[in-house]
Copies of this chain bind each other. A is one copy, B any other.
Amino acid sequence: MGKIVDVTFTLKTYKYEKPFHITNSISKEATNIEIKVILDNGITGYGEASPSYRVNGERAEALMAMEQFIKEQIAGRDLRDYRHIFEITDKLLSAPSIKAGIQYAVMDALSEEIGLEVYRILGGAKDTIETDKTVGIDTVENMVKEAVKIRNEGFNVIKIKVSEDLKKDIEAVLQIAEATKGAEYIVDANMGYTPKEAIHFVKTIYSKGVDIAIFEQPVPAHHIDGLKFVRFHSPFPVAADESARTKYDVFRLIKSEAVDFINIKLMKSGLSDALAIVEMANTAGVKLMIGCMGESSLGINQSVHFALGTGAFLYHDLDSHLMLIKEEFRGKFRQEGPRIFV
C-alpha cells in the first residue's frame, strides 16, 4: 500500500459574503491552507487548515513556511500506521490547524486506498447531521433581520454572537427569540463578559421565558474558575470553546467540573485530540458540540466526517462555508439547508 511521497501547502483566500463580526474581531476574509498528502501510488488525500490568530495564535504565512519541515516529518510513512502520523503531528503545538489538516488528509488518502469513507473508518455512527447558522454582531434590527432570514432558510438552530454591549445583547436575543419562534439558540459571548455580567445576561433572558440551548464561552479563555462560577449559576448549559483547545485543556475543565458542554473544533485540536476529547467527555457526562473557524467546504468536510463517524455531537455549528462567497464545492458530503449527509 501507499507511502507518503509529498506534502503540499497552497494558500487560499476566501471572502466573507459580509464582514463577520464577533467580540473584538471583524473578519472580511478567511485565509486557509489547502493541504495535499500525495502517495507513491498516485492517490492524493486532501485537508484544509483554517488558522485562527485570535484563538490559536496562528498566522497563515508562518504555517506556509513550515511546508518543507512537515514534509520531512511524514515523508516515507505508511498511511496504515496513521497513529504514527498522529503522534508526529501532535508535536505541532503552535500549528494546530496544520495538525488537523494533515491528519485529515492522511485519513482521506487512507479512505481512498481501502475504499471506505472517512466517517466509516471513524465508526459510521450517523448518516446525517444538522448544522446551525450564525448571526454576527450588528445592530439589533439587523441581527433580527438576519435571524429571520436564517430561520426562513430552514435552519432550526440559530447561533447568536454577543458580548460587546450587555444591554443590547439581551435585547437582541429576546427580539430574535420573539421573531423566530420554534428555533433553538446557541449564544456565543466569545470571552467578552465578566462572570457577573454573564450571570446577569442568562438570568435576565431566563426570567423572560426564553431558552438558550448552549451559552458559549462567557468569560476569558484562562479564567477556569470564572467559567465554573458561571456554570453553577446559569440556568442554561455553559460551554467552553476558547478555553478548550487541546485534550489537556479539556481534561482540566472536566476535572474542575467547569462546564456542561465542550465545543470541539478540529482546527484547535486536530483529529487526535478531538478523539480523546470525545471519549473523555462521553465518560464524564459532559456534552459536546462541534464548531469551525473559517473553513471552506474542504475544511468543513473534515468536521462533517468526524461528526458523522463519532456521532458524538448534540449540536453542529458547521456553517463557515455558507458564509463565504461561493467557492468550488469540495466536500465529500451533500447539504440541503441545515441537513448534511453523505
User: A279 touching B247 by the CB < 8 A rule?
Assistant: yes
What separation, in Å, do the CA atoms of A124 and B123 have in the docked complex?
17
Measured CB to CB, the nearest residue on chain B to A273 is B283
Measured CB to CB, the nearest residue on chain B to A121 is B121
Measured CB to CB, the nearest residue on chain B to A278 is B279
Q: Chain B residues with Cβ under 8 A from A55's Cβ?
A: none
User: B125 touching A84 by the CB < 8 A rule?
Assistant: yes
What separation, in Å, do the CA atoms of A255 and B311 have in the docked complex?
26
Q: Which of A57-65, A74-82, A199-207, A228-236 contacts B (4 or more CB under 8 A)?
A: A74-82
What separation, in Å, do the CA atoms of A121 and B123 have in the docked complex?
11
Q: Of B81, B121, B122, B275, which is within 8 A of A125 by CB?
A: B81
Q: Is the interface of A mostly helix, strand, loop or mixed?
A: helix
A208-254 with Cβ < 8 A to chain B:
247-248, 250-251
Most-contacted residue by chain B among A80, A86, A122, A311 (CB, 10 A): A80
Q: Is A310 an interface residue (CB 8 A)?
A: yes
Q: Give the size category of A's interface with B.
A: 20 to 34
User: A283 touching B247 by the CB < 8 A rule?
Assistant: yes
User: B275 touching A279 by the CB < 8 A rule?
Assistant: yes
Q: Is A92 an interface residue (CB 8 A)?
A: no
Q: Is A10 an interface residue (CB 8 A)?
A: no
A61-108 with Cβ < 8 A to chain B:
78, 80-84, 86-87
Q: Chain B residues with Cβ under 8 A from A87's Cβ?
A: 125
Q: Of B251, B255, B276, B311, which is within 8 A of A83 by CB?
A: B311
User: A124 touching B84 by the CB < 8 A rule?
Assistant: yes
> Nearest Cβ in chain B — how far from A200, in angstroms?
32
Q: Mark contacts of A114-127 with chain B using CB atoms, 8 A cut-off: 1 yes-contact digit, 0 otherwise.
A: 11100011111100
Give me 22 A-to-B residue pairs in the complex whose CB atoms sit less than 8 angstroms apart, sorted by A's number.
A78-B124, A80-B116, A81-B123, A83-B122, A83-B123, A83-B125, A83-B309, A84-B124, A86-B123, A87-B125, A114-B115, A121-B121, A247-B279, A247-B283, A248-B283, A250-B283, A251-B280, A251-B283, A251-B284, A275-B279, A276-B280, A276-B282
New A-B contacts (18) at CB < 8 Å, excluding given A83-B123, A114-B114, A247-B279 = A78-B124, A81-B120, A81-B123, A81-B124, A81-B125, A82-B123, A82-B124, A83-B124, A83-B310, A83-B311, A86-B123, A114-B115, A251-B283, A251-B284, A255-B255, A276-B282, A276-B283, A280-B283
